[in-house]
Amino acid sequence: MITRTLGSSDLEVCAIGLGCMGLSHGYGPAVDEQDGIALIRSAVDLGITFFDTAQVYGPFSNEELVGKALAPVHNQVVIATKFGFSFDGSSSTGLDSRPEHIRSTVEDSLRRLNVERIDLLYQHRVDPEVSIEEVAGTVKELIAAGMVAHFGLSEAGVSIIQRAHAVQPVTALQSEYSLWWREPEAEILPTLAELGIGFVPFSPLGKGFLTRTIDSSTSFADSDLRSKLPRFTGQARTANQALVELLSAIAKRKSATPAQVALAWLLAQHPWIVPIPGTTKPHRLRENTAAGDLELTPEDLEEITAAADRVDVQGERYPAHMQRWINR
């Protein structure tokens, strides 16, 4: 697979990474551990070198899974994880980016991942109770101590990004970005370009919606986060189907799939964008990886963007209690 560099850093990764969350968390029951290990190792065989996890996925079980799967090759890949939530046993209880909490939980992440240094460490969500300067300073100390290589932020707004970067250079921002969530284009992407920060879009396939495998009749288990998201109500899915039909028409013309077109569109926006689609299925892993070879012409990109501009996507990304964790 072709590689990309995240911003002006020296962190080189594959152009399309693997978001590992869904193997343990968020989309229904966790997969069998051996199946998860097999999928991650298949990703390595396909040339994927960038793997994304977090403490809160599970919690903890996803880091452990990633650590076991990548143990034979951890010196050949880039592993990103995240801090920023507090825990009561194995349950998350809210945000916590106090310096002492960061240090202790990062030590736990190192143990679970079975590595001596975390390649990319994100603050998972901005904690309004702790200044970003204090957070960035703590990560700077962890970098000096050799426990962390690169600092990242997730779902942070422009001011937070600028303030953090002034204390410790930010290598990457991870936030949602896709053809059906283009909010980062207004202010976030110009800021990242100015500061030399890479962008790692999560949910680049709209949590599965852009793959054309979900319609108004699809049902979600209670343990599937999409069952609670306004954008995934039956009414919203019906309204948003126009975007999927657009992708499907272009995909047919390009002998590709809607998912591949959606990923190729993202890759074409900037050379420092590295999406991390997730999957539990080997054939979807191969499909997503192949999107790196799909070439969209300037005319294709103009057509896709213009058509997407005309689609009025319905439904908020998150319910109100989750929106408060988004810093803008």
Domains of the chain (ranges, CATH numbers)? 3-323 (3.20.20.100)
Is residue 251 a contact partner of residue 258, using CB atoms and an 8 Å limit?
A: yes
Please tell me the distance from the alpha carbon of residue 299 to that of residue 321, in angstroms, as a whole number: 41
Which residue in 57, 122, 177, 318 is the catalytic one?
Answer: 57
**Percentage of the chain exceeding pLDDT 90:** 95
- In this predicted structure, the answer to whether residue 252 has a pLDDT above a threshold of 80 is yes
Q: Where are the alpha helices (DSSP H) in 33-75?
A: 33-45, 61-70
Distances (CA, A) of 195 to 27, 172, 185: 34, 10, 15
pLDDT at 154: 98
Q: What pLDDT, in 10s, does the model give residues 26-56?
A: 999 999 999 999 999 999 999 999 999 999 9
Any idea what DSSP says for residue 27?
B
Is 27 marked active-site? Answer: no
pLDDT at 257: 98
* pLDDT confidence tier of residue 193, bands split at 50, 70 and 90: very high
Secondary structure of residue 191 in the 3-state scheme: helix
pTM: 0.97
* pLDDT confidence tier of residue 322, bands split at 50, 70 and 90: confident
Please tell me the distance from the alpha carbon of residue 142 to that of residue 197, in angstroms, as a whole number: 20
Q: What pLDDT, in 10s, does the model give residues 81-114?
A: 999 999 998 889 999 999 999 999 999 999 999 9
Dihedral angle sign, alpha carbons of residues 42, 44, 49, 51:
positive
